[in-house]
Amino acid sequence: MHGTLTEHARCLYGDEYRPTPACAQEHDEHNFIEELTFADADAILSMLRELCPYVADGWLPVRIRNLAYRLVLLQRPDQPALLREAAQNLRLHGPDWDHIAAELTQRAEVLEAR
């Protein structure tokens, strides 16, 4: 069993910066997505920051990054820096999501103006 969401992601997708650990478990994206879905924001952010420290890097699939940011924003909707980080991720992996990135940036600006 993996001890953390980050370890599970590293085993499943690999890590650009560290070797993938030897693991006797079978890896199934379905199980990982279930774990991600119910993870708390700190665990998700830890995974994103460790496996994708520069936003445009890492081996996490874009669909997993997008889902991870969406889940974090549902848990922490009022954090401008996090809204901007998610928007930057969408822009880098868009352009299909540029309108959503613009909305997130606008929400961050509104929150900061308060």
Q: Is the pLDDT of residue 3 over 90?
A: no
Q: Is the pLDDT of residue 1 over 70?
A: no
The full length of the chain comes to: 114
For the chain, what is the domain count?
A: 1
- Show the domain range for 101: 5-113
What 8-state DSSP symbol labels residue 22?
Answer: P
- Condensed to tens digits (0 to 9), the pLDDT of residues 13-63 reads 999 988 887 788 888 899 999 999 999 999 999 999 999 998 788 999 999
Backbone angles phi, psi at 33, to 5 degrees: -65, -35
Contact between 68 and 36 under an 8 Å Cβ cutoff? The reply is yes
Distance CA 34, CA 22 (A): 22
